[in-house]
Structure 1
């Protein structure tokens, strides 16, 4: 009769093969048909793929589903339904996605099985698309509400990190957008405050660069321009000196202005990498995890008897960790032509840089949680094995259970490779003066083969500030 230990060892090869074939697939791998259709501009087909995908339909992925549904509806020009999905996503975030049960899932299984809570920059991007949707629906009042919600999101971020330096605790682009929204509602006082707040984020950063984005000249001019419109001449003079520019006020265009957002490329995707750690003990008996190169040293806050922890059991602890992979954009540059004038784009948001840097910022904290989870499983495994061999006898049931815990630990370890993948890699913008009446706006894109592609849109100059966004998600 095969004992439990032998049975588990025999079964492990079969289960391991199943794990390699399905368990190692990343989130991107499992939604690839949807993602490919979005990249190809087949938005209707993409929506069909999204609705039939079993992974994103799971309750733990509801926030991701709502963000993707809102995005694809926006791309389809269905702004009403787009905001329905984004509002539902907003509501989920407001109610909170953390619970004791969900935390236990993260400890006992892996973070991929927890509810997706959204990256911090993804939460700001919800406000960006909601505000544009409201603008396109001519719902200025709700667009302004969304502008105010950007401030609340920024405050929440600041509280989360206690305003620590070198952490993503605000979003300069969102504050720029907030200023534009206020300006579109002729609220130049709040517009100035928003532009100033955005500028101060850049000024506090090295070389006036914030997460891969240098302070746009357009933002500098907006700060000074709105300061002068408010009669804040002293502030305007001070910002001229701070920015090192000489600003000459321009006569407002009769047809108003168009702010053109170019959303280029695809956000990075997450994959899984394996890292290996050992457990060490210092002279005080404290326990620390360290990687092979010794570059990471992470405390292990163990509540049990530290002296009884067998360090040999932790000589090669495998950690499944997420890693971003950047997607090379098909288009390298673009320029706007309007009324014979060429207007360059300025980068306003670098989502690629945000993704890589914010993951790096939280590595030590989250790595500590992962290692502690694995260590607890390992301690449980060896405790059961030790109990199986008491009094010189071997308890096959307990020994088999120990190997079962080992196998479960191996197969359940998985990195969280989820993210909002239809976001662009970066967003650039141009402010375009309009003539009264019909305006022909031409966008010229340079593709990876060095050839130019053009798109022309017609904008009716109304004397007001208008918005337009265009996505090239290849």
Structure 2
């Protein structure tokens, strides 16, 4: 190789490394302007940041854009447009995102270049916000349709796994929300079924906990009350025993009830984590990836074929994978005070816990795909370099093939990147409370207690109508 060629090669390496360092910025860092405005409560400014963000305008990020746009519009109180965006996101998911070419791009480059398909819990949260939007717009029938679609989403999610007991195959919070919507419409039969289904998700766990959320006492009372109202005596007795509660019917509040959801903190963000693996033959002769410590063993994905893989060329693979980083909420707890009493919130959904555990559940399967893709690239690069030796004129090295091999090596280094995208303005957790209302005006005080000892209060004015009403309050910081 001539000096000129070598200088060009060095310049290419330097430029490549600069591009590599730039491209290592996480998704969170690339939408920092929008994220900051959301966290500080400047929702109108957040929408402006969202609209001018080039990354979110890319077709592969359409689902993310629609979910963020729907959430920002909801926070502003523009419920019509919020559901317009959420409905479009819903339709996108229903039609299917990506395809054969999308999969090829992900294989040749990295998962970040593929169309974003959404986390499973993110899909359930679309139903939550859509249902609230419809209720606030007094479109009860549409809210009920959304409640029914929660059952379809649950079925679709459950069908993905054989080992449902150890997987996020149902969303207990969404089933509870379904029950609340049915109850608000006076459909006590479907309300009981939904509450029962939600409770049974918790009861399958020895400690009645599902992804960081313990079976709420309010949900237990909902199951018992609906069983009683339906006249389901055997079900009432069964759940009294399961909950260790003797049900005592209570008179209905004259002004109805308020279901208050408190959305606290921000969901965790994704960052890139790096791993080093080697490809070896297992005891049964199968190809297996293992880390240096010998604590991880991940099967080679045979869908890529094994005939051309040279083990000598795949002795050190740098793989990347996303990891969640929790965001510490500003507020630690909250209480509600009305004219008669002080009421505590109960946790209904722990998105922080869901994010960490569901990502970990699919680690082996996804890392297998990533490592196999890297092994195929590495083997091809090795073959090119080997072909370059002695294939030139007069038995000299073929600099073109050598350059191609080096280029492939550089490309593999620069293109390897974890997918750090997620719906980042979801709350860290959702808590809820059922508040009895008096007829007419109700002043409800929400006292928020900060982790640093700073308290804030928020007064919510609700007119008691004798029916069930909903309200969600966000502290996204």
Structure 1 Cα separation of the partners of residues 217 and 194 of structure 2: 16
The equivalent residue for 2:18 is: 17
Using the size of structure 1 for normalisation, the TM-score is 0.97
Matched, 1:406 2:409: yes
Secondary structure of 1:261 counterpart: strand
Gaps of 5+ in 2: none
Report the alpha carbon displacement of residue 306 of structure 1 after superposing the two structures with TM. Answer: 5.1
Q: Deviations over 1:89-133 (max 9, x none)?
A: 000000001300000011000000000000000000000000000
Structure 2 Cα separation of the partners of residues 301 and 121 of structure 1: 27
Secondary structure of 1:55 counterpart: helix
Gaps of 5+ in 1: none
The answer to whether the 8 A contact 1:255-1:464 is kept is yes
Report the alpha carbon displacement of residue 384 of structure 1 after superposing the two structures with TM. Answer: 1.0
The answer to whether the 8 A contact 2:309-2:375 is kept is no
The answer to whether the 8 A contact 2:172-2:199 is kept is yes
The answer to whether the 8 A contact 1:5-1:397 is kept is no
Matched, 1:447 2:457: no
Structure 2 Cα separation of the partners of residues 305 and 259 of structure 1: 55
Report the alpha carbon displacement of residue 407 of structure 1 after superposing the two structures with TM. Answer: 0.2
Report the alpha carbon displacement of residue 295 of structure 1 after superposing the two structures with TM. Answer: 2.0
Q: Deviations over 1:421-467 (max 9, x none)?
A: 00000000000010011111110000122132110011001111100
**Change in CA separation of 1:396 and 1:259 when aligned onto 2, cut-off 3 Å:** same
Q: How many residues align?
A: 473
The equivalent residue for 1:240 is: 240
Aligned match for 2:426, one of 407, 423, 428: 423
Structure 1 Cα separation of the partners of residues 6 and 89 of structure 2: 47
**11-20 or 268-277, which deviates more:** 11-20
The answer to whether the 8 A contact 1:4-1:397 is kept is no
The answer to whether the 8 A contact 1:445-1:452 is kept is yes
Report the alpha carbon displacement of residue 304 of structure 1 after superposing the two structures with TM. Answer: 8.2
Q: Deviations over 1:158-212 (max 9, x none)?
A: 1112453211111000000000000010000000000000000000123000000
The answer to whether the 8 A contact 2:308-2:379 is kept is no
**Change in CA separation of 1:308 and 1:90 when aligned onto 2, cut-off 3 Å:** closer
Structure 1 Cα separation of the partners of residues 450 and 290 of structure 2: 45
Report the alpha carbon displacement of residue 405 of structure 1 after superposing the two structures with TM. Answer: 0.3
The equivalent residue for 2:97 is: 97
The equivalent residue for 1:457 is: 460
The equivalent residue for 2:74 is: 74
Q: Deviations over 1:282-306 (max 9, x none)?
A: 3543211011222221111347885
The equivalent residue for 1:117 is: 117
The equivalent residue for 1:437 is: 440
The answer to whether the 8 A contact 1:326-1:352 is kept is yes
The equivalent residue for 1:378 is: 378
Using the size of structure 2 for normalisation, the TM-score is 0.97
Report the alpha carbon displacement of residue 309 of structure 1 after superposing the two structures with TM. Answer: 3.8
Report the alpha carbon displacement of residue 385 of structure 1 after superposing the two structures with TM. Answer: 1.0
